[in-house]
Amino acid sequence: MTSSSTFAPSRGYSAARPAVRQIGIQDLKAALSRGVDDFLAIPTHVLFVVLIYPVAGVVIAAATFERDLIPILFPLAAGFALIGPFAALGLYELSRRREWGLPAAWTDAYTPLRGRSAKAVLAVGMVLALIFLAWLCAAMGLYWALYGGVTEPSLLAFLDDVLTTPRGWLLIVAGNLVGAAFSLLALAVSAVSIPLIIDKDTDAGTAIETSLALMRENPGTMLAWGAIVAGLLVIGMVSLFVGLAVVLPVLGHATWHLYRRAVAA
């Protein structure tokens, strides 16, 4: 066990790892259904539109005016899923409050960051950020190994090279395999860790351990969940980011209900 005060259980925290349950595809369907119900009851799509489009604008501008950033655009977009569980913190809290019949306004979403669980939540967020940075380094290392650091003059030229040349095809295949490995790691770390911290005031180490245990006990179901999340995020992105305003809150709420089904009370 690490000696870091961030991860070590402190006074008032629940240190015992909760038991995890066996879950199946029906549990995933039920969690998604409950996630849709929460989204309809607490529509947060406007908030996500406000957040998504400025970020998308910066990315598009960078792709247009700074060619050296072109190779990193896809890793940045794909890596969004790695830090998504932390970004969905407010959605978990809204679902929890609705479940208990408490007020569930936008202003209540980030209450956990003002409470005793803030350090634990931020610690998990730091772990996810490190995974995200490692993914970016791996993606750029792969690009440099295949392209020698040469940058195409435009985004269209880069896409043409990637889609029509053997080295581009190798970049796609190898990049997706490496990305899948990082996504699996992020899923194992964060599947239920932040919802558990919010619900039980658990320390970060215990929360991550519980999430890893859930992955070990339900590998097939959790891989299916990861595929569902990835598929919905892709749909949200290819719709010119419009779909993300619905996909992101639904997945956030659904993750809370998956936690409820997967971790023993």
pTM, two decimal places: 0.83
Counting other chains too, the contacts that 61-66 makes at CB distance below 8 Å and 24 or more residues apart are 63/155, 64/155
Q: Over 80: is that where the pLDDT of 49 sits?
A: no
pLDDT tens-digit series, residues 145-182: 998 877 777 778 888 899 999 999 999 999 999 999 99
pLDDT tens-digit series, residues 226-260: 999 989 988 877 776 677 778 888 999 999 999 99
| Alpha carbon distance 237, 76 (integer Å) | 12
For the stretch 77-106, what's the b/e string if a residue is b when 16 or more beta carbons lie within 10 angstroms of its beta carbon? ebbbbbbbbbebbbbbbbbbbbeeeeebee
| Alpha carbon distance 133, 147 (integer Å) | 21
In contact, 88 and 248? CB cutoff 8 Å:
yes
| 65 vs 125 pLDDT, higher one | 125
Q: Is 234 exposed, middle or buried (0-12, 13-18, 19+ CB in 10 A)?
A: middle
Is the C-alpha dihedral spanning 19, 24, 30, 33 positive or negative?
positive
Q: Quick one: pLDDT at residue 51?
A: 62
pLDDT band at 88 (very low <50, low <70, confident <90, very high): confident
Q: Over 80: is that where the pLDDT of 197 sits?
A: yes
